[in-house]
Structure 1
């Protein structure tokens, strides 16, 4: 199912005088022209940077709330009276996943209905309320309610962040800015770890862990009042004058007319609210949506969240304390994300995805081998730990940050928000089942077979990327849309 650019597409691009060529992998930045026809080079990255940084606060909160209960869970269960109840403890951990699925299902309609900035503010409200309820509750039911509310905000935030960052970033740095989402998520994970360190020594400290999270959520809601709305959304709503103003804020005055002219050449999709999810599953949009949902499914079937959720078990077997283990995993994830940020607009999305999935397959193969080398004794455990850290590092180099950036790039403007919501919903569903079944499958199949299955999914993902994913580095969203979308 590889996309090829036939002559009709090429002629259509030439007739519309679009800059750049989509039928070659030259990675030079898109160059825009002003009304006099003079070339101005690429827009400055400085104008859009503050807006992108504010948007990534939602990703920081996403990472924070994913792991905020990991260390304090024992203290929470004792204080709220459900210590030893494995089902209740599991619900506290996973209730936010259920809320995230609900929020994600509605995120596309929300982003299209009220705009990207208002969607961020709406996502912040249940995260503030949920954090306060969790911090002040005296019962299990209150904790579950708080976690569910936080989850709904988590479900709305990440897809809207991917949309927003893609739509407000200049093409030349869109990959770099897209990597900020993954870096912010890593920082959130690490922040929750460090804030949770005193939980075993200080009585009631777990409540502080929840209270703290309300501050960045409130900051997100406040700062979004001063951020630019997506010009793509404004244009789609027919608010051309406002889109022009926002383009000027984000790109600079010389680029406004050419940006608007290019936007007008693409599929406008005047009735974005009228897009039904059924439209995404057949017809001219099926191919891009199929690629998006498959990428997110393979990302989760690689076993990455099983590693994140249950890594402490492997480290404890090697005699490494859980807090040090979590720091090692977090640093590996953050280091890879920073490298990906530096390479995203140089090597491109496809190269990073391929290298990442191949590296993950090799690392998981290393763990499968370690599980079968019983004669190595303690060396087998350290080999397994090394394989796990390499797996996380390889994931953060491509399979982690790229899908959330690539998919808004390849989705047409008309369906972008709802298509992202659908793909992220697949992400949450597969994530839930992998987390639910991992320990049971590990017990029944053994680590060698299970890790080999994960490695196989990584190789399948690499083949899928090679055959179906196109390079979008340095291309404007309108170029990508016109080239990839079949004519009506």
Structure 2
């Protein structure tokens, strides 16, 4: 290992770039090996667990209220105290997510990409056991701990899966493969919704089984994750293990000749060597990466400020106005999630054909326009019942636009904006903003909605517009570009901004 490191350090940076072979999208899909597909499946099962857990934590509020009624509290306990305990336990989930996001940098750089997935898998099994035992251990403290641990797992999964699958993917399919994490997340949500039907497990007797079921996927991964390869980029650039990186690439690609990708790793190795490893505080103050950090914060904050929480809040009420019936609303929710899964598949192909920037611009643009339309139709549906049908269509379109752009693309952008030595720290910032805004946007919405009702949709329009303009002006298209190429483009833009400031 030491001799390999010395050899790599003595090598000179490549002075001239060889023209990189670029293949068509169809050829890239045909070139996918079965090994890569099962590795992606093994890693993305964690995202399905994340989707399953987040639906259980946020959606079944009635079941949670019933759950607290069977605890050790006196039957006539003050309802306000019960409400406080319930909201506190739910709030502990994003708090745990924030803590998990802060851990990702240390875990990814010290334990490796594969090691982080294995550690998270063990924590996921622990969290499923804790959540399943909440029915037997009738103390609110235990329930809070269970939700906190589940939040920590989700916070790590949110970043760990995109980092791993993004780093092992070929450059032509990096966007499509990275967005698989979002697709499996939707599958997890769909599974939870289906099992939570009262005819299945959505009753007091089936509740513990429903909670424990979150551990089924992590248990399956116990037999899969130990056999997946470490990220070749992590091995080559951070561990300086050239032979190990080549072997991992050969396994993932299903062929012996991987020299084109080894040349790309070599190029990034010297670029990252010049940058040096950056922890999160150093990254925040690194002048050459300032626009990357600003872009990440903007995208992660804006994905929660498009009005999506308002759309979810008003969806059930709108469905009931359409004479659908309360029993059928739950099936409508499942149908909506199925459409999300299909939209995710659609966006996985679009991201490699039209690019990342178009998806983001379309998503934020459509969400902004629909915020104005929803403010009108939701307000009028109390007096004009037919408006509920327009509201239903607008809400579905809004959620699909959110799914295609603001939800699925930001993690891919974070992955592509940073080199290997600063990528984990970039995801620390992204994850922290994501989970913090997850909590803050919910608190702000419920207070705002009480004050101005459905007109709260109008508050999200300027945010969507501002984000749209920011993406249009500052975010470059990263489709089919190497990480080093993207770094050069961002550096060039930073130099132009500084030069313009000096001239002014």
Q: Of 436, 457, 461, which aligns to 1:451? A: 457
- Aligned residue number for residue 248 of structure 1: 250
Structure 1 position 350, deviation (Å): 0.8
- Aligned residue number for residue 263 of structure 2: 261
> More deviation in 220-229 or 188-197?
220-229
RMSD value, Cα: 2.8
- Structure 1 residues 49, 476: closer, same or farther in 2, change over 3 A? farther
How far apart, in 1, do the equivalents of 2:146 and 2:122 lie? 12
Counting only pairs closer than 5 Å after superposition, residues 22-171 of structure 1 correspond to structure 2 as 29=23, 44-46=31-33, 47-69=35-57, 70-71=59-60, 72-80=63-71, 84=79, 85-137=82-134, 138-171=138-171
Structure 1 position 118, deviation (Å): 0.9
- Note if 1:431 corresponds to 2:418: no
**3-state SS of the aligned residue for 1:68?**
helix
1:101-138: per-residue Cα shift (whole Å, max 9, x none)? Answer: 10111112211111011101111222211221121132
Structure 1 position 201, deviation (Å): 6.9
Output the TM-score relative to the length of structure 2. Answer: 0.84
How far apart, in 2, do the equivalents of 1:252 and 1:15 lie? 30
**3-state SS of the aligned residue for 1:228?**
coil
- Note if 1:275 corresponds to 2:263: no
- Aligned residue number for residue 295 of structure 2: 291
- Note if 1:223 corresponds to 2:224: yes
> More deviation in 390-399 or 130-139?
130-139
Structure 1 position 67, deviation (Å): 1.0
How far apart, in 2, do the equivalents of 1:360 and 1:392 lie? 8
Structure 1 position 344, deviation (Å): 1.5
How far apart, in 2, do the equivalents of 1:239 and 1:270 lie? 18
**3-state SS of the aligned residue for 2:272?**
coil
- Aligned residue number for residue 35 of structure 1: none
- Structure 1 residues 311, 273: closer, same or farther in 2, change over 3 A? farther
Structure 1 position 276, deviation (Å): 4.2
How far apart, in 2, do the equivalents of 1:305 and 1:14 lie? 49
- Aligned residue number for residue 475 of structure 2: 469
Structure 1 position 312, deviation (Å): 2.9
> More deviation in 195-204 or 85-94?
195-204
> More deviation in 226-235 or 83-92?
83-92
How far apart, in 1, do the equivalents of 2:312 and 2:43 lie? 25
- Structure 1 residues 423, 55: closer, same or farther in 2, change over 3 A? same
Count of equivalent residues: 461
Stretches of structure 1 that go unaligned for 5 or more consecutive residues are: 1-12, 22-27, 32-39
- Aligned residue number for residue 4 of structure 1: none
- Structure 1 residues 116, 309: closer, same or farther in 2, change over 3 A? farther
Does the CA-based 8 Å contact 1:134-1:142 persist in structure 2? no
- Structure 1 residues 375, 306: closer, same or farther in 2, change over 3 A? closer
How far apart, in 1, do the equivalents of 2:380 and 2:489 lie? 51
- Structure 1 residues 428, 171: closer, same or farther in 2, change over 3 A? same
Stretches of structure 2 that go unaligned for 5 or more consecutive residues are: 1-12, 496-504
- Aligned residue number for residue 6 of structure 2: none
Does the CA-based 8 Å contact 2:195-2:202 persist in structure 1? no
Structure 1 position 477, deviation (Å): 2.5
Structure 1 position 481, deviation (Å): 2.9
Structure 1 position 153, deviation (Å): 0.8
**3-state SS of the aligned residue for 1:344?**
helix
How far apart, in 1, do the equivalents of 2:128 and 2:464 lie? 36
